[in-house]
Every structure is written in C-alpha cells, then in structure tokens.
A and B are shown apart, each in its own frame.
Chain A
Amino acid sequence: MLGYAGRILHVDLSSGKIWTEPLKEEYAKKYIGGIGLGMRLLLDHSKPGIDPFDPENPLVLAAGPLGGTMVPTGGNGHAFVSKSPESFGVGEAKSHGHFGTEMKRAGYDAIIFHGKSEKPVYLWVDDDAVQLMDAKHLWGKSTFETEDAIRNELKDFYIRVASIGPAGEKLVRIACIMNDRSRAAGRCGMGAVMGSKNLKAIAIRGSKDVKVANQEHLLELIKIQHERMKGPAARKYRTLGTPENVLVLQKLGAIPTNNFTRATFDAADKISGEYLNERFVAKIIGCSSCAMRCEHIAVVPEGPYKGTTTRIEYEPLWAIGPNCGVGNLDAILKGMDLSNYYGVDAISIGGIVGFAMDLYEHGLVGKEELGGLELNFGNYEAMLEMIKRISLREGLGDVLAEGVKLAAEKIGKDAPNYAVHIKGVEMTGYDIRGLKTAALGYAVSFRGADHNRHGAYGPDVAGKVNRFKAEQGRGKLVKETEDLYTIIDSIIVCKFSRGTYFEGFKDLAALYSAVTGIEMTPEELQKAGERINNLGRLFNIREGLTRKDDTMPWKIMNVPIPDEGVAKGSFVSQEDLDLLLDDYYEVRGWTKDGIPTVEKLNEIGMEDLAYLVKPKRKAKEEE
C-alpha cells in the first residue's frame, strides 16, 4: 500500500487528545482517498441528524493516494468533508496547491477533527509531532495574514497552511478554507464548520519520503501525461484559462446574468478571457507537480483597485460579474481578492449578492435596510461593500450570510423565488434552463448545485445532444461522468487534467497501481466511482434528503430564458425533471424515490451500509 501514508490522524479539539490509527486497506481500495475516503470516514464518525455546527459533526481532511508523487496534478490535492451547513447533507470541497503534498510528506492520509476547542487554536503538524497551538492572536485575521503569521512564528517558509478568515469564524455558511494564498476548498461551507470548532488553521511540515511501487513504469506514465498536457487536451487551461467560457457561453445563451434573470451579458467583451489575458494576467503559475499550469494571476494595472493581485477563474468571475450585472473587470478582481481575504466561497458570494440585488430591484429589500446602499444590478461598489458585509455579518449581511435559501426563508414573501440554489448551495455559472443534461447533473449532485460533480454540461455545450430537450439516455450520460468525476476527486487529480486521460479509468487505474502497488483494473476503479456516488447519496438519505431535494431553483423551472437568440424560451419543466430523474435513478439502480436498493449496494460491495436504506421496522425484525 505505497502511495498511501497508511495513517489517519485524529484530533479531539474538546479534550485536546491526539491519536493515530492505521488506514484500513479495505477502505483504501474501496474509497480510494480524497472525497471518497473522506465521506466514508464522515459517515463512520458522525451521528445522524446532528447540526453541522454541533461539536459532534466531524471535519475530515483527506489527501489522495497520488499525493506527494510526481504524477502531474496528482501530487498536490486535498479535500475537506463534513456535514454541510448549507445543504444539511454531505459537504465536500477540494483544493490544490502545495498543502496536500506536505500532508502526505508528514505521513497522513486523513485528519479527522472531532469536538470543539474552548479557545481559538491552530493545529501544527510537524511530521509525527502534532500539537494544538494558541490562535488568539490570529482570530479576526484574513487568510493571507494568518498564513504569513504562522510561517513567521514557526520560522519555516516552506510550511504549508490551510486557514479560515473572519467569515469562517463568524459561521458565515459559505465560508471556505484557503491554502497556499490563492487556493480554496470553496464550496459547501467547510470553512464555517472549521470556525464552529474554533479551529483557525492547519499548518503542516512534512519531511518523510514518498515511495512508489513501480518507479520506472510510473515515470513512463508520467512522461505520457506530460506530453498530453502540452497538447490540445490542456490548451484551454494553459492559454486563456477557464475565463474562455465567457464568450463561449455568451454565444450559447447560457451565461446567467443578473441572478438568472437573463442568459446573455451585454458587457461580455469587457470581462472575456481574451480581455483578461490581454490587460490583466501577469503570470501563469502551477501547483506542485503540475505539468499544465493554469493559475492565471491577474493584476489590476490602474484605477481605484490598482495593484490588486489575485487568481481568477471563470466561476468566480461569473458570480461576482455577470450574475451581479457587473461588467467592470477591475472590480470583479477586487471582489475575488476580498472573497479570498475574508475566506468566503467566491462563487456563492456572487450568488448571494446577485440574489440581494434581485430582491432590491423587486422591492423586497429596501434602501433603509441597507444603510442607504443602492443595491442595483451593475453597481460594483455596492457589490464590493456587500461582500464585506456578508463576510463580517454586518447589517443585512448577517441574514444573507446564511446563504440564499435560509436568508430567503427569513426575508419571506416571494424571496424564495429569487433564491437560485439547489439543496441550499448557490448555483454556478451555467444557465441550465437551456442545458438539460447539465440540469440533471445539477439536480442529483450530492453536494448541491455544482458543475464539478458531473461535468454534464460537456455534451450540451459540445452539441453532442439536443441541449433543449429532456429525454431518455441523459441519465446514463450523467452517471458516467459522475463516476469519473468522483474518482478524479478521490484519487485527487485536477479536473482540468481530465482531458489528458485519453482512456479514462484505464489511465487513472494505471497511475494508481504504479504508485500504490495495489492492482486496480479500470472496471474496479469505475465501480469505486459508482460506490462513492452511492456513498454520497446514502449520507444524504441518512440526513433526511429525498427525491424532492433533487430539484431545480424556482427561476429555472418557471421563467423561460427571455433573451433573443437560440436559447429563447427554454426552461426545465416539472415533466422534464421527472423524466430525467426517473431515467437517472433507473440507470443507477435506485428506486423511484432515488434510494439505492439493497441489491445494488450488495453488487458494489456496500453491504455494510445497507441498513441505511432498509425501512426501519424491517431492519428491526431482521435483528
């Protein structure tokens, strides 16, 4: 079991007790690592029905089996997993950079945080020496300042830090966990869970060797990956980067604008990947072991936000930009920087500000509640001010910090109709009214609204299917990409590298076997992907989520796309949704209610979790 460190670290923040246990080989094979292993450990170590902010909700940090190796993009990732304070189902968020590498070098596959510290602390992992450090002086500091302060006080520049900002401390439900300055485990509010534990940061230094099973074969495989990464499969990420999507989606009428009021953006040229690269991008950098390099570092050259330096990708650019009606790239970059500074998910923050703007324009929120702020779409100064207020829970920001779903319930009246979310998690930058394969992927994603659980926009955008039509067969498409995507997030390679695995599971299985020495066939790896998807589903079922939660935002189902053009008039009807869900559940081997059958669980080696789907009375009789 090389590649794996073979150890899980437990940290009880309530008692201060710290211990390790061996990683079971069965878990390594079945759940691989990353989100798969993380979700299984979460399920094992939590009780049903607890509040995400209850000390008994554990926070799991998991690395992948390729971590610390030279496998390009595979050497550096990590995932946080916990019950989400947004969806109240499973929450998971992955990040790259250098932190995951260091965690593996320190000798841990996973770290599980239990309980809640009485006072603010941070965890200092120096190989086998693990201790909780006072973090009183760090409380209130931004993620950037926290990282610098910890490196300074521990006197080693190469220490890697993952931390929360003020938003996580204040239990803002969209708080993220930042590492290596510009990388975020963004979605599902993992930073808020960390804040609820009074855990400010995790600092790691690792000096152990990372050994692999078949060195020469691995180098051959890496050579192939390097070549592919220089080719067309990674071209987008090496050149314009994900902001290339702006003009692509604009053409398709699929770029949500003004909180999903429209699906094209008038100022698209002013925020395009082309313009961004021409005027702002100063350097493109890479994570540890990466042979693609995608991280576009943008610098604002002049004006009031001059000098703002930040990483930028399509999703946050869209959320803070078009979704708020903002076509000023200077301000968008400032908004991105503020999100990282305070430690909020830059996608969800744009979702919330856009939501608040929509409420303001429809008279559901007044100027007086905003301290005189005119929160119209396109007012970028107001957008930046709201990022701060939400992150610090100031004024109406305190309500909005609950996320659009809970905030809409508090505000009342028609507000829920403007809350664009799935399972409580804010939408991402694809207008799924006219992307119906993607719509299904979004609806069934176990972590709520997200493009990264399935990538099902692929066939829609590429024109491989009629994207305006809901029909049989989409369930299979979604299942297939889901199974692959869960493996990508469990073995932990970068999603951007997905196109370089020409033979999908076969390539990934070969890398896994060369690193770990565990023989893994492509079929077994695909099955592991299926297993992990079922695992996410089972956790959500345990927490009370049902078919009714596999749904779409009100606007997606009730307001047809108004823009002139190809997508005009498209929306997802209840019939569409039912057809898509039935098809998908059937392909998955689940009941009409979206519950995995006992037979299915037996087939994929999850007998031990069958108790979660058996009716309670029946389960009792069997005992």
Chain B
Amino acid sequence: MAAVPKAESAKWKMVSCDPDKCTGCATCEYICSLTKENVFSAQKSRIRTMRLHPLINISITCRLCTPAPCVTACPRDALTQSEQTGVIMIDDDKCDGCSWCIEACDYGAITLHPELKKVRICDLCEKEKDGPRCVKWCPEEALDFVTKDILSQKARIAVTKKLFKESMEAAGIKV
C-alpha cells in the first residue's frame, strides 16, 4: 500500500482533544454511539475517554496518521485511507475482526464492534452536514475539528502567551 501524498494530508481535519479542558464526562462517547449506532454504548463509540487520574483526562480518536499503520497492518486489505479526508475506510466484506490494526494503532483509536466483530474507526461524521458530532456536543468545547497546521498554531499561541505573560500583563495586553 503506497503512502498517501503529503500535499493532500495537510488539508485533512481531525478531532483533537485539549486535555486542559477535558473533564472526562464522556459526552463524546454518548453522542458518537447514538449517531453511529442509535444506542448509548461506550464500546460502540469511535471516540473514547481516558481518566488515568482525577487530574488526567482526555478523549482519543483517530489521528489520521499517514502512512497509516493500521492500513499497513491489515492482512486482508480491508482498510484504505481516503486521500481527500484522511478517514480510514473499512470494507466490512473483507474485515474479519482479526484486530491486527488495533495492535498497530498507537492511540487505541480503533475498536472492535462487540456484535458485528468488525473494526470501527472514526469517520469524522462524514454524513453529518456540520462535521463531527462529538465536537459539536462537547459541553466544555474541549474538542476541536482542525488541521494539524492549526493545531501547531494553537500551541504556538499558547506558548507565546506563557512566555510573554509578564510583559503582556505590564502592557495591559489582552488576547
């Protein structure tokens, strides 16, 4: 499987979670399973929360890696990555639930559907007109639907604010 051209991947938007804002409420899990499966079920959600400690909370879903290790790992060629969006597409006729892709994913972003025994990966709510529903419903606005470039830009803004905290305060600058 050839790697997807980089020129396209720069435009891909992914669901990113800000752990400073995430409260571990799992609203993203609820709305995801409802959207995709018409039920409330953590196991059927394509995004999962992790609270390792009361102070450490995050939600995790597909990172749109490229080339994607899950695609490479699949022995049955059931997974392909959309060049347009970066979404990992699953061919249910080929997927037999062997879970090599689950092992290949460093982020735990792939789950096995408990009844269908096929893997499930975030598709960014492609069928919804206003983007991923978890982002829309997160009560803390901890989730964002962004390109990786914007992600790094956000980090730069945050670190600059931190570095220049004192002079900003002195000058009365509010950003």
Contacts and interface: CB of A to CB of B under 8 A. Distances in A.
Categorize the interface residue count of chain B. Answer: 20 to 34
Interface in B10-68: 23-27, 30-31, 34, 37-44, 51, 54-55, 57
B120 to A, nearest CB: 14
A286 B40 contact: no
A289 B54 contact: no
B30 to A, nearest CB: 4
Nearest to B141: A230
B38 A105 contact: no
Main SS class of interface, A: loop
A209 B41 contact: yes
B172 interface: no
Nearest to A182: B54
B140 A293 contact: yes
B41 A284 contact: no
Interface string A409-437: 00000000000000000000000000000
Contact of A286 (B24, B30, B31, B37): B24
B139 interface: yes
Nearest to B56: A283
Contact of A293 (B25, B114, B137): B25
A513 interface: no
A286 B26 CA distance: 9
Nearest to B49: A288
A209 B23 contact: no
Contacts of B41: 105, 207-210
User: What size tier do the contact residues of chain A reach?
Assistant: 35 or more
A293 B34 CA distance: 22
B30 A70 contact: yes
B139 A75 contact: no
Contact of B40 (A69, A291, A292, A311): A69
A285 B40 contact: no
Contact of B51 (A211, A230, A285, A293): A285
A13 B57 CA distance: 37
A70 B54 contact: no
14 contacts: A70-B40, A105-B42, A182-B54, A207-B43, A209-B37, A210-B39, A226-B139, A229-B139, A285-B57, A286-B139, A289-B25, A289-B30, A291-B25, A295-B54
Interface of B: 23-27, 30-31, 34, 37-44, 51, 54-55, 57, 114, 137, 139-140
Given A69-B40, A285-B23, A286-B139, 4 more contacts: A158-B42, A283-B54, A283-B57, A286-B23
